[in-house]
Amino acid sequence: MPYKLLFVCLGNICRSPSAENIMNHLIAQANLSDRIVCDSAGTAGYHVGNPPDRRMAIAAQRQGITLCGSARQFVKADFETFDRILAMDRENLVNLCALDPSGKYRHKVQLMCDFCTRHTLKEVPDPYYGGTEGFNQVIALLFDACEGLLAEVTQELAAGK
């Protein structure tokens, strides 16, 4: 049974698909594709079915990452399906927790930036309304967070969790 990670932002066209594809890249490099699987979703349904944002795809491509996938909205069943659910910002975290009023799955939901080792930002900023630099910053931040997350998940897998 593979370990399942879900990355969540607002619309699932910028931050969360970038995190998903960066993580898949790092997982493949570590030869762990059979042990860890990733997906992404948005808390809102604005862009369901759409590919990742073109500007985000360009920023990712500069770092050797091709953004694949199409937007989907988070559903309550995702709480059961995934081992960890990674929110890009506090608002996403609050929205996810609101879908789990009993708090049964609260232990699975974390902020993506909690796994950063080089960057000090506590949230992944939404680059949607900004310029190129914002998209580049998100890619750098997500590489950092994904590396930290992969290290933690790898330790868990080694410990047999």
pLDDT digits over 126-140, tens only?
A: 999 999 999 999 999
Q: Is 126 a catalytic residue?
A: yes
User: Would you state the pLDDT for residue 161?
Assistant: 66
Q: Could you say which DSSP state residue 106 is in?
A: G
Higher-confidence residue: 161 or 39?
39
Q: Is 100 a catalytic residue?
A: no
Average pLDDT of the segment spanning 89-118: 98
Closest CA to 38 of 53, 56, 19: 19
The string of pLDDT tens digits covering residues 72-88 is 999 999 999 999 999 99
Q: Is the pTM of this model over 0.95?
A: yes
Instruction: Label residue 144 by pLDDT band (50, 70, 90).
Output: very high
User: N- to C-terminal Cα distance for the chain?
Assistant: 11
The string of pLDDT tens digits covering residues 32-49 is 999 999 999 999 999 999
Task: Strand 3-9: give its sheet, edge to edge.
Answer: 36-42, 3-9, 84-87, 109-111
Catalytic residue among 53, 78, 126, 144: 126
